[in-house]
Structure 1
Amino acid sequence: MAEANYWYRNGHGEPLYADLSKIDLSFVSASDFKKVGEVKTFQSLFKSEDGFVYGNITLKYEGGTRVTVSKGYYDTYNFETHGNRSTSPSVFRRIGQNTSRAFRNFATVGGRMLADRFPMRLNNQEFNIYFYGVGKISK
């Protein structure tokens, strides 16, 4: 996270490249996928030591304990909040989804304050993180 925040303050919007083999993906299991080639998005926020940087990460299952990132996928480091309220027909599901969204947005605002360090800095810029290599997941 320190590197991502530094890049947010000093990278001038240039992309950052992350080796998938160095990202903590232990919260993802081969059983989360139905077949080789399947692409799924995972929320890593509180499940990975890298969750505060990547949030959602989209992985392609390569078989065994190997995953890659789908061609063209990247993550944007931008502190975006989500404003859409749940439209689930189930009141309990709506409450859960809206509570989760509110908590995520609260954490995002806190993360931005940490990354900005000083709110009047005008050179802070969002950037894209491109992934390469092969990541390892649980069996």
Structure 2
Amino acid sequence: MKKNLILASLAALALVPSTAMAQPDRHDRHDVREARRDVREAQRDLRDAKWDYRHEVRDYNRTHPWNARFRYQRFTVGARIQPAYFGNRYVITDYGRFRWARPGVNQRWVRHFDDALLVNVRTGRVVKVVYNAFR
């Protein structure tokens, strides 16, 4: 009898710490709520940034209508293009509006249908491509 009482008390003592540890701390729950709130705010900021970008593209397309004298060709980095593709009428001077890198020496951003190309004007090589930039 005494042995059973000792075993029962030991079992009860063994269960008490495990149930206490299973309870989440009030601060832990607060941290989780705060982390979820931060994620929601980050998603909202991303959604707002996409909205702003779409409206910048829409405004740019309204003020700079696109009409090319050639067919669309999908250029890749390293391709050599003819000077007609990066003539003055296709130059994008407000590249900062779209948060693109500043062109280096002898480089310029040009529009080719919905794509934006960073072209080295001395060699005619495409340095960087932003596909569907004006969609």
The answer to whether the superposition gives a TM-score over 0.5 is: no
> Normalising by structure 1, what TM-score?
0.24
Greater relative contact order, per chain length (Cα 8 Å cut-off, separation 6+) = 1
Greater helix content: 2
Greater strand content: 1
